[in-house]
Structure 1
Amino acid sequence: MEISGTQSIHRAIVLLRAIASRGRAGSRLLDLAKHAKLTPPTAHRILRCLVAENIVAQDADTHRYLLGHLVFELGLAAAPQFNLRQIVEPSLRRVAERTGDTAFLIARSGFDTVCLDRKEGAFPIKALTLDVGTRRPLGVGAGGMALLLALADDEIERIVSANATRLKDYGKLNVPILTHMIGRSKQLGYALNDRQETPGVISVGLPVMNRYGPPYAAISVGAISSRMSAERQKEIAAIVKSEVRSLEKRLAEAASA
């Protein structure tokens, strides 16, 4: 394939990831072009092609871009090969039951994270900070931060720097604040998010380690801050850690089956 062809594919993927990160809100052409470091005409040309293939849809009223139905269909076709959600579901459910709060399964996708699943505990006030399918910059939220904790310092710096301009959309987060939170989380032994995009909610998380390379998933728990004393943060982290270690064994067995 010619270099120009591979470059176009790369640009299209960057645009798709940006559109996915906005969810149902959709994305404006100018914002997408800026994110992908493209001129608006170039971004529009690529998007027009993606719309023609039903990979991207454009809202008739707002003219914002959203993921098209072909993405959903392709996801259904790929699901049997990537059954991480199915394998993790019992662990995620137990975490929610034992804590009484909301448990999230977060997966890495390049320099982003995706919420793959969510289970609600019995406590009546829910911390529903993420919907399934939500994309955010890697490092945002306890799950995203947990995925960074197992990486080398230079890799963490590279990822945080690459996401720097996007952090401000999440509770006025910035590189110095996130770097401080990562350092504190390393000392604690689990990711602690107590000052990001959802006021009144605190979350903790741990990565699901991968024996073949960097972790690709994490489990986090979010609760209203009045339920998240320092002592309870440790208790929840211990519950998550217990499930994560058991889960790592099951994933290793599934990979070698």
Structure 2
Amino acid sequence: MADVPAIELNDGNTIPQLGFGVYKIADDLAADAVEFALETGYRHLDTAAFYENERGVGDGVRRSGLPREDVYVTTKVWWTDNGHDSTLRSFDESLERLGFDYVDLYLIHWPAPQHDHYVDTWRALERVRADGRARSIGVANFHIHHLERLARETATIPALNQIELHPWLQQRDARAYDATHGIVTEAWSPLARGRILDNEPLARIAAKHRVSPAQVVIRWHLQLGNVVIPKSQTPARIRENFDVFSFMLDDDDLAVIATLDSGYRTGKDPDDLG
């Protein structure tokens, strides 16, 4: 079983670089998927209140038999609960559903800037971190200008920014800002919801290394330094997505992938949600 690299966060904690995403896995199926992922070797799980499967994720962790401290768990507050007190309530509800007394990472899921509550939401996250109930805190889907406002108005730099990131949306400016400010970048939709896997240049790179296009893309994320959280419910693909440590992309491969950036999003622009 491969050892997944750990990336150090700006608060002194670490996060496994490869994780298992559970978006759109139904709550009654999540425990099985999580248990299989943990058996495969994943030790990092990414869920959210919006996914409505936190209970299944917690059950999967318990069924695995692994000690709680050996499994890194992220969850998130949905944008309709942004705001100080409503975030604290949402956090308590997430912990109750998970059946845990802490999470390793708690994120603001979307800034929803039209509602202008994300700064107050961040102050609630600072509180749950101070209470020890979230070991680390961060954000998701934050543009640079959202991060700059947090830096101006609050005392804590996010440990991590989870953004849509794949070869069609390489987010160079966001990654550079994060790196300069000690924020780890994490990729959601790392395979562009599977839409990129028929891409011919990726297919050629995959054939060269005798791996799948999905493995090429996950390996690309790892070599960029991203945390990456591919999702699947299929056991064979869960295993395949984890089997990415036996090969390396070379400079020619990386140069080809760099040309694929088109700005294409599979999800909403963060300034447009809410």
Q: Give the structure-2-normalised TM-score.
A: 0.27
Greater percentage in helix: 1
Higher relative contact order (CA 8 A, sep 6+): 2
CA radius of gyration, larger in: 1
Greater percentage in strand: 1
